A = this chain, B = another copy of it.
């Protein structure tokens, strides 16, 4: 199957260049010739070799996407990314770093070698030591989820401050005053901002913040569980009527703790989780949760990326800009108005 331009050219006694121009509708070609070429192309089931095109044009129409884990919220991002890319005639190479900075580094290298036109990256490297590669190359990179410390770059991130703020707002509207927070390690930007958002919202509503009701889970694995446990065990001294958890994993394990202690929401206290989308509505009671619009994040990234790719030169303020995405709150049965 030597299915190339040459075959068509030979058949019609034309040159390869003419055939190319006819097919791509570029340059001047007589209508007659064009038709002929199109017809034989169809006849031979011609299919352009994108690799050859890419090499010649120095453009692959492929972008890379590296996530720490395929599943949950990232599935949504992947989905949004994929459909938006495909609408613009791009394809996507997907890689899963499995939360491993070393793998991530290798994937980045691979992406560059593959000559992707752009890269979307949810980095898991605290230091993002690949700055050299990143900066020495001119292919645009968009970060999302984690923000690499000390690096000026393009990113699309959740408005994390608002994320906890809308949770507090909702609870306050229900009459809650003593609100607890379980958040991640505030050395990570997301956790920090989410805690800040909580603080600001409490202040906005003139509510006192009991430091004992703020649990910062330092360890990844079961921080949600132990934090919830601490809150439950000390609730005589430090009473609360509602809890907000600020990551998905912690929400899950906090729920396990609540069940293990024989408590339930909203009876014992109201509960607001994070990223508990439950699209198939299988939880009972359903859970009020702050949600990141994953698909939208994907779409936005693609937009920014394609803009960078198309306009070779962007103004600096556009080049390394941050796009914020608004969280939404999904109301469920796990939150209820407080009894006066």
Could you tell me which A residues sit within 8 Å of B by CB distance?
1, 45, 47-52, 54-55, 60, 62, 70-71, 75-76, 78-79, 82-83, 86, 91-96, 98, 107, 109-110, 112-115, 132-133, 136-138, 252, 255-256, 259, 276, 280-284
Contacts and interface: CB of A to CB of B under 8 A. Distances in A.
A137 B3 CA distance: 10
Contact of A75 (B51, B75, B112): B75
Contact of A255 (B60, B113, B282): B282
Contacts of A70: 75, 78-79, 82
A280 B259 contact: no
B109 A82 contact: no
A45 B280 CA distance: 49
Contact of A98 (B83, B92, B132): B83
A83 B55 contact: no
A150 to B, nearest CB: 22
A304 to B, nearest CB: 20
Contact of A55 (B48, B52, B82): B52
B283 A49 contact: no
Contact of A252 (B79, B137, B282): B282
Contacts of A138: 1
B79 A113 contact: no
B51 A55 contact: yes
Contacts of A95: 82, 86, 91-92
A96 B113 contact: no
B96 A79 contact: yes
B96 A93 contact: no
Given A52-B55, A71-B76, A259-B284, 16 more contacts: A1-B138, A45-B132, A45-B133, A45-B136, A47-B109, A48-B113, A50-B115, A51-B51, A51-B114, A51-B115, A83-B98, A86-B96, A86-B107, A93-B94, A256-B281, A283-B283
A92 to B, nearest CB: 6
A128 B115 CA distance: 33
Contact of A60 (B51, B83, B109): B51
A263 to B, nearest CB: 13
5 contacts: A51-B55, A78-B94, A252-B280, A252-B281, A256-B281
A175 B71 CA distance: 37
